[in-house]
């Protein structure tokens, strides 16, 4: 009796859902997303140096790095 109940319970649990696309496509989409993020990051390289303060304003007349900020 318990064996038949176990078999019945095991058959009732098989509600598998199929993925909407093959499993390897999730990895492909993730790689494409990371590549796009890398491209955006690469596009803004050196921006801080371009947008920094002009060299003539900060530290005029001071020697070294001991000045007040």
Both tokens of residue 22?
């093959």
Q: Could you report the per-residue pLDDT of 16-65, keeping only the tens digit for each?
A: 889 999 999 999 999 999 999 999 999 999 888 888 767 666 555 555 56
- Residue ranges of domains in the chain: 19-44
40 vs 68: CA distance, rounded Å: 36
Q: Per this entry, what is the length of the chain? A: 69
Tell me the pTM.
0.50
């Amino acid at each position: 009796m318990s064996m038949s109940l176990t078999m019945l319970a095991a058959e009732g649990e098989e509600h598998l859902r199929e993925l909407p696309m093959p499993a390897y496509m999730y990895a492909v989409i993730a790689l494409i997303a990371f590549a796009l993020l890398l491209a955006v990051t690469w596009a803004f390289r050196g921006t801080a140096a371009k947008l920094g303060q002009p060299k003539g304003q900060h530290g005029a007349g001071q020697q070294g790095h001991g000045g007040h900020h």
